[in-house]
Amino acid sequence: MSIEPLKLVTIGGTPALLNPALQACLESGVFHLENAGAILPGAEENALPPEDNPYAQLLKDFTAMDLQEVVDPKAAEDGETMSPEFIRENLERIAAKLSSLKNDYTAASEKITEYRNALLHLQHLKGTEDDLGKVLQCRNIVCKFGRMPAESLQKLELYNNPELLFRAYDLAHDYAWGFYFTTPKQATVSDGIMKALLFEEFHIPAFIHGTPQEAMTDLQTALEEQQQLADSLKKERTAILQAESQLLSRIYRYLLYREEIYRLRSQCLITKDKFTLMGYVPITRLDDFRKCAERVEGIVTSYEDPPDSAAISPPVKLKNNRFSAPFSMFVEMYGLPDYRGFNPTTLLAVTYTILFGLMFGDLGQGLVMAIIGFVLGLRKKKIALAPILTRIGISSAVFGLLYGSVFGYEHWLDPVFHNIGMDFLPLHAMEHTDWFIYGAIGIGAVIMLMAITVNIIVKLRRKDYADAIFGNNGVMGFIFFAAILGVLVCMLFTDINLLTAPYVICLLVLPLLMMFFREPLGALVARKPMHHTSVVDFIASNFFECFEFILGYATNMLSFIRVGGFVFSHAGLMSVVMVLSEMMGEGASVVVVIIGNLFVMCLEGLIVGIQVLRLEFYEIFSRCYDGKGKPFTPIAVRYPESVSFKS
């Protein structure tokens, strides 16, 4: 199919109308914005610098708030206007409420963590009836609670410090838990000693009093109170956010909208008294765009064909039929064509489908693939490969019918063909190896000739007569390659000798010489001066290029041997599955066949798919396609599916 024709749209007006004009372009959904300065060289000299976005800081402030649980930009609608002051006032009001709650919640969370840790530590003091409040509130003694390795108890005795005492209350997991006591004067020295002994201090809340058991009861009560407080604060925060959710969603959507508007302004030319906005619209959607543009009073809109200049490359929107449309993802993977180039999607779709069927021919497995692709295509969340799977599955089934292969059983269809009088079918791979090898090379040769023909047509449309006539993928290359093929076919399958003097001179030597002298001949045809180089450099470079051309014809054609190779590979793998199934019992045999078919479908199907894509890119596209175009991307505000901010 072709490439969607476009119109170059130019919009002008006073600077005050730029934002409404951009809004109209956004609403149309069919406008691809271009940098006006690139299309109008020299016009940037009088242009003003981009205007600062008054909403940029507000958007940063908004995203700094932890609001992802209630903000849904898709729940709001476009069309309303909000001043920066209105947005700032509401954000500050909501932020003040949330900030106070957040501070209280943080304090409660810290206490919850502290109390939980204290409860864990006090478990090690259950064996004492000492009043912890009195111990911790001593004035003339420094008291610290914690643990240290049990082996450090003996090391502590070696210090022989009368003003340092460690009292162990529990030994657990190679640690001694307890208090160490020291005098205020010796506190620094004692801390150093205990640190050397790997003592870890654990904080006990100041309000603790009574025995450890009583203290744990008080701690549990305090912990529950803090948990209730934290829960109530969370509920209060949720209530505030739910009450403000609609306003917040509207604000966020509007901020994203204004952010996009000011980003698009940088692509426009703005002077003191006017602006210029340029872009492309598909001809089929021109009426829809006009309706949106006419709503903005005071702007002037003009429509013209894209300029015929190599310096300006319009975007590309592929126009494909229903069969080839899913394969456009492969074209985009390689690169889109130039606007005035050739849309290779249909060529790729047809050749990919046929080659896959040839390499993975199995009636049963092909139908399973087609059904899987059809079912996946029915899902709401579309899978791009699903329609491709349906097409190549049908192709695999068709060629599997010709091969007589049904889930690896090679002779199930023999009686069918015999009864209808087609005894030459099925074509069993292992019985016709020569046919498949020669056929694979022949298919490759035909596809290469087709690619060269396409390249000739494309080059002639571009008026690139030098490459179209004298290039290795031009007329001379076609004649030379076809002549070589003719010689090979006659040598292998007939007794005809084509290597006569007229044949060799006219169809081999002369085309090769024209490819050798393609630069001066091309300059002559184009009526352009030739770039002069030394005779030695000219001969050397063109000799090796012609040698590379010949080598390329051979290697590209031989690459298609893999088509026949994968036919044998598939038959070989399935024969292994059948042998394994015969070795098993009756019940296990069916399981082996099912698992074997699934394994071959997944593994070989994936490998064949990749290999066919390689043939498309390296053996076909390399001869007729460059893929240097840029995609047609209508401007739009990309509202996120889900919102996630950093708190």
Inside any domain, residue 16: no
Q: Is the pTM of this model over 0.95?
A: no
Alpha-carbon dihedral sign for residues 489, 495, 496, 500:
positive
Q: Give the per-residue pLDDT at 44.
A: 61
> 424 and 565: one domain?
yes
**Cα maximum dimension of the chain:** 121
> Residues 450, 483: one domain?
yes
Coil, strand or helix: which one is 52?
coil
How far apart are the C-alpha atoms of 354 and 335, rounded to whole Å?
Answer: 22
What's the pLDDT tens digit per position in 597-629? 999 899 889 999 999 999 999 888 888 888 888
Residue 354 — very low, low, confident or very high, per pLDDT cuts 50/70/90?
very high
Residues 363 and 464 in one domain: no
Q: Tell which residue, 124, 113, 115, has the closest CA to residue 147.
A: 124
pLDDT for the residue 197 = 87
Residue 384 lies in a domain: yes
Q: Considering the domain boundaries, does residue 24 fall inside one?
A: no
Kindly state the percentage of the chain with pLDDT values over 90.
21
Q: What is the dihedral of CA 629, 633, 634, 636, to 10 degrees?
A: -160
Q: Final residue of a domain: which of 199, 226, 253?
A: 226
The answer to whether 128 touches 211, Cβ cutoff 8 Å, is yes
Same domain, 596 and 543: no
Same domain, 508 and 527: yes
Residue 240 lies in a domain: no
Tens digits of per-residue pLDDT, 487-520?
888 888 888 888 888 888 888 889 888 888 877 7
Residue 582 lies in a domain: yes
CA distance 597 to 362: 10
> What are 202-227's pLDDT values in tens digits?
877 767 777 777 778 888 888 888 89
Q: Bridge partners of 316?
A: 631
Q: Are residues 426 and 565 in the same domain?
A: yes
Per-residue pLDDT tens for 284-325? 999 999 999 999 998 999 999 988 776 778 999 998 999 999
Mean pLDDT of 185-199: 87
Q: Same domain for 566 and 427? A: yes
Residue 647 has what pLDDT? 39
Instruction: Examine residue 231 and state whether it is found in any structural domain, yes or no.
Output: no
Residues 409 and 446 in one domain: no
Q: How many domains does the chain have?
A: 3
Express each pLDDT in 46-97 by its tens digit: 667 777 788 888 888 888 876 766 777 666 566 678 888 888 888 888 888 8
Contact assessment for residue 620 and residue 347, using Cβ atoms and an 8 Å cutoff: yes
Query: Residue 395 in contact with residue 356, Cβ under 8 Å?
Result: yes
The C-alpha atoms of residue 143 and residue 131 are separated, in whole angstroms, by: 13
Q: Any residues with CB less than 8 A from the CB of 179 and at least 6 apart, and which?
A: 135, 143, 144, 145, 166, 167, 169
Contact 632, 332 (CB under 8 A): no
- Regarding whether 171 and 139 lie in a shared domain, the answer is yes
As a dihedral over the C-alpha atoms of residue 153, residue 159, residue 163, residue 166, rounded to 10 degrees, the angle is: 0
Which domain CATH number covers 119?
3.30.70.2750
Q: Report the C-alpha gap between 440 and 445 in whole angstroms.
A: 9
Shared domain for 369 and 477, answered yes or no, is: no
- Directed axis angle between helix 433-461 and helix 561-583, to 10°? 140
Assigned domain for 477 exists: yes
Residue whose C-alpha is closest to residue 281's, from 475, 463, 29, 469: 29
73 with 249: CB under 8 angstroms? Answer: yes
pLDDT of 645: 45
- CA distances in angstroms from 503 to 286, 496, 500, 547, 640, listed in the order given: 56, 13, 5, 20, 66
CA dist 58 and 488 (Å) reads 74
**Residue 58 belongs to some domain of the structure:** no
Q: Which domain range does residue 169 map to? A: 110-226
553 and 492 inside one domain: yes
Residue 43 in tokens: 């016009």
Higher pLDDT, 123 or 467: 467
Please indicate, yes or no, whether residues 505 and 568 belong to a single structural domain of this protein.
Answer: no
DSSP letters for 291-329: HHHTTSTT-EEEEEPPP--TT----B-B---TTTGGGHH
How far is the C-alpha of 526 from the C-alpha of 519, rounded, in Å?
A: 10
CB 629 within 8 A of CB 345: no
